[in-house]
Amino acid sequence: MDVEAAKILGKLIGAGLAMIGAIGAGAGIGIVASGAVQAMGRNPDATGTVQTNMILGIAFAEAVAIYCLVVALLILFVF
């Protein structure tokens, strides 16, 4: 295997490995949404506040996955 092919192979494997971090964000978003839906079910009047805080929580959890995505994109298209 020549060096160029090995470089591409390494890039693809590295980008795939980088995206493993999305597991945590997925689980986190699921937990946030489940908690928020339960809260809304118990107390429908608080839907507005719960929704706002849910979106905030999801945004923070999602940020981790976005870092992974950016790292993967950088590996694939920049280096």
List interacting residues with another protein (CB under 8 A): 48-49, 52, 55-56, 58-59, 62-63, 66-67, 69-70, 73-74, 76-78
Which residue matches tokens 């929704």?
51
> What are the structure tokens assigned to 21, written together?
């971090």
In whole angstroms, the minimum distance from the beta carbon of 17 to another protein comes to 17
Residue 7, CA atoms < 13 Å, CB-side half-sphere: 7
What's the min distance (Å) between Cβ of 21 and another protein? 12
Which residues make Cβ contacts (< 8 Å) with residue 71, sequence separation at least 6?
18
Tell the smallest beta-carbon distance from residue 15 to another protein (Å): 12
